[in-house]
Amino acid sequence: SSWRGARKVVHAHKPHFMALHCQEFGGKNYEASMSHVDKFVKELLSSDAMKDYNRARVYLDENYKSQEHFTALGSFYFLHESLKNIYQFDFKAKKYKKVTGKEIYSDTLESTPMLEKEKFPQDYFPECKWSRKGFIRTRWCITDCAFDLVNIHLFHDASNLIAWETSPSVYSGIRHKALGYVLDRIIDQRFEKVSYFVFGDFNFRLDAKAVVETLCAKATMQTIRAADTNEVVKLIFRESDNDRKVMLQLEKKLFDYFNQDVFRDNNGTALLEFDRELSVFKDRLYELDISFPPSYPYSEDSSQGKQYMNTRCPAWCDRILMSHSAKELILKSENDEKIVIYDHIGPNVCMGDHKPVFLSFRIAAGAGKPIANVHKCCVVQ
């Protein structure tokens, strides 16, 4: 169903260069599903919807047996036949190579010089015995524009109760550190600096303490502790009057608020003030205004396309961010018609627990010129 939803977007926007970043590719029990993944990829490449895309690069990290390398990231790049002269950067040779044909890399992912892949150090998230979080970076050049595309998956909130304890939460601090690591890495001294787009599952969450204080402003809180360890296992927020109606129940993996409409009305924009994790990066990252509801955690019941699961507080986990020079590239090309669109896919259909988001834009010819040396980038040596 995700692909059906994406196909509609492709049909509507007809992109000439399409980048699709997947996280947790193969799902939670990837051992069983990797064979389906390969079948899906082959069908996708030969599908009718993609027939006008005569070049493709697919990078799938399927090597789940290698704990120190496995990220479960999948990056797909499709190039329309009308696009001439697309180059991709070889990070070992430090030069651009012309993109021809369709290539899929999975077993050979670790050895291809056409990308950089890293997993975050284990000590970033010690609670997780084995985390798959990391990033994959590729670099492209179209006409005179060079840019990096970074597929990213940051750490999740392990416990709603721990997230609620401090503002900002300890998990938000871990994501901050990991995202800082990625940004430092992609602008370090090894390669020429270019514009970049970073998109994937950032796992950004609303500031839990502040959200609960707002949603349950007049409530009284009851704390339930485990008999043996005395640790807090549940918080119940009730209205002070109105028969002490339960407003919110909070457990490690339960966030049960009595009125989900607050997350959907007006696309949940009233809660955007609690979406604060990006604010520390405002000098380094730009994002277009969000006008879609929180992208996670949707019900996986196929008949409940709009329903959130009551496991976590809904949040905008899935984002498309960019450097300020990339923003100039996009907005400079925008004239009177609204050609920059940032939205989610499949608002009414079940797409799994995350709703994908997309950004559609045009880059005007010559838009990359003022960025020093970029026009030279595509001289293939």
Q: Is the pLDDT of residue 146 over 50?
A: yes
The pair of three-digit structure tokens given for residue 233, joined into one six-digit string? 């296992």
**pLDDT tens per residue, range 93-113:** 999 999 999 999 998 898 999
Backbone angles phi, psi at 224, to 5 degrees: -115, 130
Ranking 29-38, 52-61, 225-234 by mean pLDDT, the lowest is: 29-38
Q: Is the pLDDT of residue 371 over 50?
A: no
Greatest Cα pair distance in the chain: 76
pLDDT recorded at residue 10:
86
Full DSSP string of 196-239: EEEEEE------HHHHHHHHTTTEEEEEEE-TTT--EEEEEEEE
pLDDT recorded at residue 186:
95
- The proportion of the chain whose per-residue pLDDT surpasses 70, expressed as a percent, equals 93
**Nearest to 41, CA basis, from 105, 85, 93:** 105
**pLDDT tens per residue, range 165-220:** 999 999 999 999 999 999 999 999 999 999 999 999 999 999 999 999 999 999 99
**Structure-token match 């651009």, residue found:** 96
pLDDT recorded at residue 379:
40
pLDDT recorded at residue 334:
62
Q: Is the pLDDT of residue 31 over 80?
A: no
- Which residue type does 159 have? S
Q: pLDDT band at residue 372, thresholds of 50, 70 and 90?
A: very low
Residues 101-119, buried b or exposed e (16+ Cβ, 10 A)? ebebbbeebeebebbbbeb
Q: pLDDT band at residue 374, thresholds of 50, 70 and 90?
A: very low
Tell me the H-state helices in the chain: 2-13, 30-46, 160-165, 170-186, 208-215, 261-264, 324-332
Query: Does the global pTM surpass 0.95?
Result: no
Q: Is the pLDDT of residue 2 over 70?
A: no
Mean pLDDT, to the nearest integer, of 60-70? 86
Q: Is the pLDDT of residue 335 over 80?
A: no
Which residues, including other chains, have CB under 8 Å from residue 59's CB and lie 6 or more apart?
Answer: 73, 74, 75, 76, 105, 106, 109, 112, 115, 136, 138
Q: pLDDT band at residue 226, thresholds of 50, 70 and 90?
A: very high
Q: Round to whole Å and give the CA distance between 234 and 223.
A: 6
